[in-house]
Structure 1
Amino acid sequence: MQRLAFAFLAGGLFGAGLFVSGMTDTAKVQGWLDVFGDWDPTLAFVMGGAILPMALAWALTRGRAPLVGGSFPTRSEPRLGRNLVLGSTLFGAGWGLAGLCPGPSVASLSYGGWPHWLFFAAMLAGMFAAPRVRARLDKALPAG
């Protein structure tokens, strides 16, 4: 129960941070991506505010266990491959076109209206289809 309470608290804090930072505002996100037009650089502070504490957290938790049990995720190998390139491209295209990514889309469901619900449904459909599409691609085009 304690683990669920911490997860709820962390999720709520994360959602509030997304809202306060403007990450749930599709126009602000698209303004950040419009580097050749009316560029809005304010989300760089959001990115820095996320990357710096996470780098510190990775450094401080090396060799430790969480207070409420379990284990911290291991770092992934910094390997550039087909899956990373394809996934990053699809994620970036969706983020640029819609102005939302998974976290902000969930955070904006309560006030974003039907377009946010439509994006959320499409995102869930993509998450459901992705493993099946990947299995077919891996079978048809083996990596390496």
Structure 2
Amino acid sequence: MSDHDQHPLFLPAVFVGGLVFGVGLAVSGMARPEVVLDFLQFEDFGLLLVMGGAATVTAVTVTLAVTSGKRAPLTGRPYGRRLKTFDSNVLLGGGVFGVGWGLSGICPGAAYASLGVGNLPILWAIAGMFAGAYLQGWLRDVVRADDPDGVGA
């Protein structure tokens, strides 16, 4: 099954998954930047419990799916892990993400959930995330144009 002829319930399932994620962030209080900043200042460890619980559920689910030998019901693709090379781009991107998270107390998922709990000033952070993503894409294209073979200096 190709990406173009995906199951008709694929996008609704993605929407429901996002909805459940957002409700979970809102109910746990993780959609509030002050909660995240309290965690980063070692004053409140509730975020650690929420993240640990989510990571545990995800790890168990992915492990069971991959070892089952079955295929995803909506895409028909086999379950598997996407291996990403650990390189300088991963370190740089993680560092920039971490600095932004630490300065604002906002991560992308929580920012959208924060809108749902009535935090309209969060729109500034969301606009900043979109501007940063656009800038990164533009810079990547400029670098590729200067070095079309990817050889480097």
TM-score by length of 2: 0.79
Write the mapping of 1:46-85 to structure 2, written as runs, cut at 5 A: 46-62=50-66, 63-71=69-77, 72=79, 74-77=81-84, 79-85=85-91
Q: Given the alignment, which residue of 40, 44, 69 partners 1:40?
A: 44
Q: Does 1:26 align with 2:26?
A: no
Quick one: distance in 2 between partners of 1:51 and 1:29? Answer: 17
Consecutive unaligned residues of structure 2, counting only runs of 5 or more, are: 1-7
Please state whether the residue corresponding to 1:112 is helix, strand or coil: coil
Consecutive unaligned residues of structure 1, counting only runs of 5 or more, are: none
- Match of residue 127 from structure 1: 133
| Number of equivalences | 139
Quick one: distance in 1 between partners of 2:134 and 2:55? Answer: 29
Structure showing greater Rg:
2
**Root-mean-square deviation over aligned CA pairs:** 2.3
Q: Check the 8 A contact 1:108/1:116 in 2, yes or no.
A: yes
Quick one: distance in 1 between partners of 2:76 and 2:95? Answer: 33
TM-score by length of 1: 0.83
The 4+ residue runs of structure 1 with deviation greater than 6 A are 140-143
